[in-house]
Amino acid sequence: MTSGMRWIKACGARPLVCMMLVCAAPQTGQAEQQAKGLPGVAAPRSVVAELQDALGHATERFQAMDEVGVLGHVSERYRSGSLTKAAIREQLRTLFAVYDSLRAKVQIDEARAVGEEVWVYSTGEVSGRVRGLGMWMPIFSWRREPDVARREQGVWRLYGDQK
Counting DSSP H helices and E strands in the chain, the numbers are 4, 7
Residue 24 lies in a domain: yes
Residue-range definition of the domain harbouring residue 77? 3-158
pLDDT of residue 50: 96
Q: Say whether pTM exceeds 0.85.
A: no
Q: Along the chain (163 residues), what's the average pLDDT of each consecutive run of 10 residues?
A: 36 36 33 62 96 93 96 94 92 94 94 94 94 94 92 93 77
- Residue 36's pLDDT is 61
For residue 149, give the nearest of 6, 3, 17 by alpha carbon.
17
Residue 123 lies in a domain: yes
What pLDDT is stored for residue 30 in this prediction?
Answer: 41
Non-local (6+) Cβ contacts of 15 within 8 A are 9, 51, 55, 106, 108, 120, 121, 122, 147, 149, 158
In total, how many domains does the chain have? 1
Decide if 59 is inside a domain: yes
Q: Which residues of 52-68 are buried (b: 16+ CB within 10 A; e: fewer)?
A: bebbbbbbbbbbebebe
Find the CATH number of the domain harbouring 54. Answer: 3.10.450.50
Is 163 a domain residue? no
Q: E-strand spans in 22-135?
A: 41-42, 79-80, 83-84, 99-114, 117-130
Average pLDDT value over all residues in the chain: 81
Q: Which residues pair with 106 in a beta bridge?
A: 124
